[in-house]
Amino acid sequence: MALTTMFIMRMDFKTSLSASIACIGSVGPGFGDVGSMGNYDGMMGFQKVAAMIIMLLGRVEIFPMLIAFKSFFRR
């Protein structure tokens, strides 16, 4: 979703792919315009919203583990 959104909105393929991967992995910088010397400021509003959704989806895997540990430590 985010890759196609960023690519359609006139972002080059390398930047859009690395931004999507960086967002889902929550690692920070990518390549191209969102690299270590750049930031996500140049992205359009809709691209930023798509990146935020991808970041949340990348974090969803943490919540089931927290719930499992919470029930384990309650006993």
At 18-74, the pLDDT tens digits run: 888 888 887 878 888 888 888 888 888 888 888 888 888 788 777 777 787 787 777
Which residue range is the domain that position 12 belongs to? 2-74
Q: Residue 71 contacts by C-beta under 8 Å, 6 or more apart in sequence?
A: none
Residue 13 has pLDDT above 80, yes or no: yes
Instruction: Tally the domains of the chain.
Output: 1
Query: What's residue 72's pLDDT?
Result: 72
Greater model confidence, 9 or 68: 68
Burial of 10 (0-12, 13-18, 19+ CB in 10 A): exposed
Q: Residue 16 contacts by C-beta under 8 Å, 6 or more apart in sequence?
A: 2, 3, 6, 7
Secondary structure class of 36 (helix, strand, coil): coil
Query: What's residue 50's pLDDT?
Result: 84
* Beta strand ranges found along 1-75 (DSSP E): none
